[in-house]
Homo-oligomer: A and B are copies of this chain.
Amino acid sequence: MNTPNQDRRSQRARQAILDAALEICREKGLGKASMEEIARRAGVGKQTIYRWWPSKAAVVQEAINEAAGDVTDFPDTGDVRADLRTQMTAVVTLLANPRFTPFTSLIGVAQDDPEAARAFLEGIVEPRVQACRERLRRAQEQGQLRTDADLDDVVELLYAPLYYRALLRNRPVAPEQVDEVLKLAFAGLAPVASQ
């Protein structure tokens, strides 16, 4: 991620660090994880972590990103609402997966660490938003979405409720939410004429 000679980097150490980081996060959460323990558990010198990552948040973000896979491609079956359902369900599934609790923790540390915020935004959020926005644009062209809607606003309207539950913990994160959100968002809150 940073400066030294990438060629000589030990892949063994890198993988052990990412694995240890995720494991510890799963056990006690990112907040109570420590560089010290990651190093200990990975059988690695602390310096080896600091050489390649600036903070534990950066380590965990890389680990999470790797674990999540390269899912930046957005489905396109021709039916935007179905595609959104697919993709949003994937997001909910991830947010609900205990293996991915560090995901929301990363958003947590970002609140007090601008660098972590930037990294999360650039590394995680923006690529996915970009893909979604692109899909929505095509939907507009195909007459499946209002054309007077700002696409960034649409993305926020659809995805924010999913994150909201994960972050605020007001209600459990569950796939049913996707249908609720899509129903409300597409139909609108205004009362129906016949009502």
Q: Which residues of A contact B (CB under 8 A)?
A: 29-32, 101, 104-105, 107-113, 117, 120-121, 125-126, 129, 143-147, 149-150, 152-154, 156-157, 159-161, 163-165, 167-171, 177, 180-181, 184-192, 195
CA distance A164 to B125 in the complex (A): 12
Tell which of A121, A144, A195 has the most Cβ of chain B within 10 Å: A195
Please name all residues of chain B whose beta carbon is closer than 8 Å to the beta carbon of A109 when the two chains form the complex.
Answer: 31, 108
Question: What copy number does this chain have within its complex?
Answer: 4
A188 touches which of B30, B105, B159, B188 (Cβ 8 Å) = B188
A110 lies within 8 A of B169 (CB): yes
Nearest chain B residue, comparing its CB with the CB of A111? B108
A31 lies within 8 A of B149 (CB): no
A189 lies within 8 A of B195 (CB): no
B167 lies within 8 A of A163 (CB): yes
A167 lies within 8 A of B111 (CB): yes
A188 lies within 8 A of B191 (CB): no
Known: A32-B112, A153-B161, A187-B188. 20 other contacts (CB 8 A): A29-B111, A30-B111, A31-B113, A105-B111, A107-B168, A108-B111, A110-B169, A121-B169, A146-B190, A146-B191, A153-B180, A156-B165, A157-B185, A160-B163, A163-B164, A163-B167, A163-B168, A167-B167, A185-B185, A186-B189
